[in-house]
Structure 1
């Protein structure tokens, strides 16, 4: 953040109620990059949007969306505005293996990539140690599942133990179960999973801009007075 950014943040804070400020600080204190979710070719907008909403509720700041065949479409009714508080990383370059590009980025950032697959050779989500490494959970297409590339290049296959006749869960339910298991462990550990002070400042400014009505006009007028 620049000196100008800090001045803008301080100015916008005058238009944010104390209640909203407290809520922002509470959310910021639990926000994390330590766990993220990757969606590979999800074709039903309500499913992808439900996953994003779940991720935001669980404190994740990032979600990665791979678009090889299926394009992600926003379903505002399901999202309830959750996407505006998160960073959505989309991999959708033509004539590119976007799965490979996403994997490369995540590995470069130090993530261990776990691919959700119902086969019995996968490790139970409840046995995953989320404190050792940053974790990226990948969930595949609703009909075809995860791609062969994802299965071959992931660091670990994971599964949700099930005890009925049905072999799979809806993707949004699967994500919710997996995140609940990992985030609960994370919060109960001594792992420093939160954002840095610099990240919090930048996010606070971004969120204040979204909270304050017509913040762009207010900011523009304020900057004129300090130039």
Structure 2
């Protein structure tokens, strides 16, 4: 289907100022919309079925592949064409690939309708750094963690850095935002064993039985786990630290633990 395309060549245009403004949290909250940049990220948002698109901003001079026009044509959104210098000014990236979309903010809140299977679950409490959360989501997708609960975050899930670092897996995973005190009873009622990952734990991660219905629980980069999460968890585990540093980056720690769960699960499957 041939789409009507609006060509705009001035950054002072109100539509372009609106799209660019969505890089800031206050504007996302005010409008109820957000900013998705990149072919892969937009494609995964579309595939997920969770996102209702509004605008697609395009710049063919910035395209890096051959499938951009097919993607633009397949999305039900108003299309805007801009010159390279305008696109680069709006872009959040050092090397933009010619595609930016805006969409309505999806609802990722936890509800009574949320169903849990027997698969392992990841819980991230109080996360502060968008890049860390995005990397964790990308790793979770690779390790087979289909549900990620972001509890009491100190960031906006729809920060462009979260979307970029997650390579769009923010949309393809089942991601839920919740209060930690709301989440623990749900996990316990579903029969999950919760493992609090904390440096002071005496049990190392490779000695823990991480098979079956397990939930790995990580705290924030600066503050660690809350007292509530510590008190409600079934077991404490830690990663061995052999050097001067007393802890690892949050995304690194989560990645190691998720792949240990995958390793233990594969032993059962084989």
Which residue does the alignment assign to 1:44? 129
Which residue does the alignment assign to 1:114? 195
Contact 2:133 2:251 in 1 (8 A): yes
1: CA distance between counterparts of 2:188 and 2:269? Answer: 23
Runs of 4+ off more than 3 Å: 68-74
Which residue does the alignment assign to 1:178? 257
Classify the secondary structure of the residue corresponding to 1:123: coil
Q: What is the CA-CA distance between 1:70 and the residue it aligns to? A: 4.5
Match of 1:55 among 140, 158, 169: 140
Q: What is the CA-CA distance between 1:122 and the residue it aligns to? A: 3.4
Q: Which runs of 5+ in 1 are unaligned?
A: 1-31, 92-97, 192-227
Structure (1 or 2) with the greater helix fraction: 1
Is 1:87 aligned with 2:178? no
Q: What is the CA-CA distance between 1:171 and the residue it aligns to? A: 0.5
Classify the secondary structure of the residue corresponding to 1:102: helix
Q: What is the CA-CA distance between 1:109 and the residue it aligns to? A: 1.4
Kindly tell me: are residues 56 and 100 of structure 1, through their superposed partners in 2, closer, same or farther at Cα, counting changes over 3 Å?
Answer: same
> Which has the higher Rg, Structure 1 or Structure 2?
2
Q: What is the CA-CA distance between 1:130 and the residue it aligns to? A: 2.2
Structure number with the bigger relative contact order (C-alpha 8 A, sep ≥ 6) is: 1
Question: What is the aligned length?
Answer: 152
Q: What is the CA-CA distance between 1:105 and the residue it aligns to? A: 1.0
Q: What is the CA-CA distance between 1:34 and the residue it aligns to? A: 2.0
Contact 2:128 2:153 in 1 (8 A): no
2: CA distance between counterparts of 1:62 and 1:122? Answer: 28
Q: What is the CA-CA distance between 1:129 and the residue it aligns to? A: 1.2
Which residue does the alignment assign to 1:161? 240
Q: What is the CA-CA distance between 1:73 and the residue it aligns to? A: 3.9
Classify the secondary structure of the residue corresponding to 1:43: coil
Q: Which runs of 5+ in 2 are unaligned?
A: 1-116
1: CA distance between counterparts of 2:154 and 2:131? Answer: 17
Which residue does the alignment assign to 1:16? none
Deviations 1:73-107 (A, max 9, x none): 4422211111222111111xxxxxx2111101111
TM-score (norm 1): 0.63
Contact 2:124 2:149 in 1 (8 A): yes
1: CA distance between counterparts of 2:197 and 2:171? Answer: 26
Which residue does the alignment assign to 1:66? 151
Which residue does the alignment assign to 2:230? 151
